[in-house]
Structure 1
Amino acid sequence: MPSQNSDKGEAIQASGESNFKKAAKKAKKQVDNLLHVSLNIAVTGDSGAGKSTFINAIRGLEDDAQGAAKTGVTETTTEATPYQHPTMSNVTLWDLPGIGTPNFKAKTYLKDVKFDTYDFFMIISSERFRENDIMLAKQIQKKKKQFYFIRSKVDNDLRAEGSKISFSTEEMLSKIKTNCEENLKEIRNPKVFLISSKEFCAIDFEKLVDTLVSELPQHKQNALLQSVPVSSMAMLEKKVRMFEKAAWAAAFVSGAVAVAPVPGLSVACDAGILLAFFTRCYYSFGLDEKSLEKLSGRVDRPSLRVLIKSNLVLALAAESAARQEISALAGGAAVEYLCSLVPGAGSALAAVISFGLTHRLLQNGLKELANTARTVLREAGLQ
């Protein structure tokens, strides 16, 4: 019993709450926020503006990949079309028809696309934002939801002007943004972000993510941050800090604290939560094969995959198919598997009864995954 009480006290202290019941409620909520909270992103704009390319880039897909949103210079979107994130199933991007198209009149647009479905809107244009874009922004504003203007295909503008002797990338980008803001003067403090279709993670991508994270409700921030591509070391560290904050809750909800049942919280060891936690880190940090391949192509360094030496990363890669049914794994066997992945975790029995040990297991695994991702980014030159 002393050991059990010690685990209980340690778990309560880690939660920052005053008693076990409050700690249990907070832990369950944090794990739900990490793994299950839905995020629905609406992407709209005229045909050819780059909506589908934007959706594919956020999802880490090339335009010609299986499951990618259809792209084209003509209007390819005739109805609101959902595209689920390939590794974060709780995140969905919606390709919406452009406002003012024959079946989606400007005055009834929000009703026709089911406005309440979406957490926020991205309004995309590859040139000037038009009257319908401004009208849509005003309608969204009245309904008190966030919207953001994305000026796409900026790489085309830079390429067109790049041959001039007096060309300056910084001055050109400043000019484009100023023109957009002047074009949107009817909107108070318009939030405009410049995005390149070829180098998606360049220019204003991280500024866009930072803005979204700062303005989304707390329970939606984790979903967004997990789903966006790792564009730099700074972006990776934001993701790492997010998972560090959630590690105690995953340890708690996994049933590592052997106490009497609390309504809504299972105290039987749920190794599926531990595996789900590591799997989320694995995909969010861009350590899966597809992400590594895409990054290798982007920076023209084909050797990135050979940098993976971590036993934990290799095990997650080898078991990727099983992870689709992660919740079906047997508790005891899965705990043994997890303990074998992280040296020093101790016996499976100990992991079942010790909050502290399970918490350390998560911290050690997270550290190993984060260090592997840092190595990859340094080799890729994305400091």
Structure 2
Amino acid sequence: MDTPHDRESLEEIRDALKNNNPALAIAKIQEYLDKQNKTPLNIAITGECGSGKSTFVNSFRGVDNKAEGAAPTGCVETTSVVTPYAHPNYPNVTLWDLPGVGTTKFPADQYLNHVGFETFDFFIIISATRFTENDVKLAREIKRMGKKFYFVRSKIDSDLYNERRSQREFNETETKELIRDNCIQGLQEQGIQSPQVFLVSSFELHLHDFSLLHETLERELPEHKRNALLFAMPNISQQIINKKKEAFHDKIKYVATLSAAAAAVPVPGLSIAVDVALLAGVVTQYIFGFGLDIPSLKRLAGNTGVPFNDLMSVITSPLAATKITPALIIKVLTQGASTAALMVAEEGSRFIPIIGIPAAMALSFTTTYRALNGFLNKLADDAQKVFEKALRRNTTD
């Protein structure tokens, strides 16, 4: 998506290149790439005592309940103040664990001011049973103040387990529909019109309604916030991985355009230096977005019980689970004969009279576009294989 921010950044980088200032150009490129991950998204999580707010916060962030930096969980109210929890890979995305409405001295209309209503982009109201009068009062106040709220019925895994043990003829789909209808009926009785309730297990985000919740949030968020949500989402489905891949792919043409602009400056070695800086920055984004960095893989191993080495065993890209450096990018690029040939041709063509600069720009665009597209495809494939490896363990245990 071509935004005013994209166009402004591209112009600044082109100006630096035209003025033969490669250091400034590379700095502007890094600034441009960094800004892609700085759109703030603040998600408020609230609900009654024991509803599973903190576990939801941890699960969304891919953090085990017992890990350092996790939101504290327990069978009693553990949240007494508004507490922010930044996403490990995307600190611009923050989940805020709020005190339960019924656990504070503030009524619903004062509660929102107490917790800093304006901070949040939307609210998720969580309940482990039927939604209460306090939940409904809060929802009305949120609506009155012009923001979105979403009802999440948590601990669905426990409900299904108990029903499976107690019923002679258990049907999971019918049981979930009964739970959902019961919640909806309760909300309607309290005056909420056309409520939508999402059934979620924080220990099994790939099941039930979490994907539907994401689709709803994505549809209703402002456009500039959608990618912030998407990249922070755990890889709970092939669809999420594909959406991340598509969003990354949409940006490749801008990066290739920057590469072409650098090729127009007749300074030996400049284009390659800019290309490598570009590629390293973008590939690092791919690694974090797909959760293929070592800390993310270790968190996934801890959460799923799949050994870290087993997850690593299905990864094939030399760029995954390692620090992305210019030297590594050059090494991987030169392993491909066609890419290496394009780089040599670009560097040589720049100094051909008249046609040299246009030819170098075209070659630079093509080289960068092909390289990023290839890196992206391989890393997305690795993300899918890691997801399937973790999922198989979760569904067979």
Q: For the superposition of Structure 1 and Structure 2, which TM-score range results when normalised by the shorter chain?
A: 0.7 to 0.9
Question: Does the C-alpha gap of structure 1 residues 232 and 21 become closer, same or farther in structure 2, counting only changes over 3 Å?
Answer: closer
Query: Which amino acid counterpart does residue 241 of structure 2 have in structure 1?
Result: L
The 1:350–1:280 alpha-carbon spacing in structure 2 relative to 1, beyond 3 Å, is same
- Of 334, 352, 357 in structure 1, the residue corresponding to residue 367 of structure 2 is 357
Between the aligned residues of both structures, percent identity stands at 41
Pair 182,226 (structure 1): closer, same or farther in 2 beyond 3 Å: same
Distance in 2 (alpha carbons) for counterparts of 1:21 and 1:290: 34
Highest Rg: 1 or 2? 2
1:256/1:189 CA distance change after superposition, 3 Å: farther
What is the Cα deviation at residue 30 of structure 1?
8.7
Which residue, out of 171, 196, 204, partners 2:201?
196
Which stretch of structure 1 is more off in the superposition, 198-207 or 295-304? 295-304
Normalising by structure 1, what TM-score? 0.79
Q: Report the AA paired with residue 207 of structure 1.
A: L
Cα distance, 1:93 vs structure 2: 0.6
Q: Distance in 2 between matches of 1:189 and 1:66?
A: 40
Alignment of 1:1-383 (within 5 A): 24=10, 34-163=36-165, 164-185=167-188, 186-253=191-258, 256-258=261-263, 269=274, 273-293=278-298, 295=300, 301-302=306-307, 303-313=310-320, 317-319=321-323, 335-342=326-333, 343-344=335-336, 345-346=339-340, 347=343, 354-380=364-390
Maintained 8 Å contact 1:31/1:249: no
Q: CA offset at residue 273 of structure 1?
A: 5.0
Q: Which amino acid aligns with 1:94?
A: W
- In the aligned structure 2, how far is the partner of 1:53 from the partner of 1:367? 33
Counterpart contact for 2:52–2:155, Cα < 8 Å: yes
Aligned letter for 1:235? I
State the number of aligned residues: 344
**Deviation at residue 109 of structure 1 after TM alignment:** 1.2
Distance of 1:338 and 1:370 partners within structure 2: 17
Amino acid at match of 1:142: R
Distance 1:113 1:270 in 2: 46
In 2: Cα distance, 1:250 partner to 1:349 partner: 20
Please list every run of 5 or more consecutive structure 1 residues that lacks an aligned counterpart in the other structure: 1-14, 261-267, 324-333
Check conservation: 1:84, 1:92, Cα contact below 8 A: yes
Per-residue Cα deviation, 1:208-249 (whole angstroms, up to 9, x for no partner): 111111111111110111011111222211111111112222
What is the letter of the counterpart of residue 310 of structure 1?
S
Counterpart-to-counterpart distance in 1, 2:376 and 2:49? 42
Deviation at 1:16, TM superposition (A): 7.5
| Range 172-181 or range 29-38, more displaced | 29-38
Question: Over the residues paired in the alignment, what is the CA RMSD in angstroms?
Answer: 3.2
The aligned amino acid for 2:184 is: E
How many angstroms does 1:95 deviate by? Answer: 0.6
Q: Distance in 2 between matches of 1:350 and 1:95?
A: 53
Whole-angstrom distance in 2 between the partners of 1:205 and 1:21: 35
The one-letter code matched in structure 2 to 1:148 is Y
How far apart in 2 are the matches of 1:367 and 1:70? 38
Q: Is the 8 A contact 1:123 1:150 kept in 2?
A: yes
Change (3 A) 1:311 1:78: same
Residue aligned with 1:318, SS: coil
Question: Is residue 293–residue 322 contact of structure 2 (8 Å, CA) maintained in 1?
Answer: no
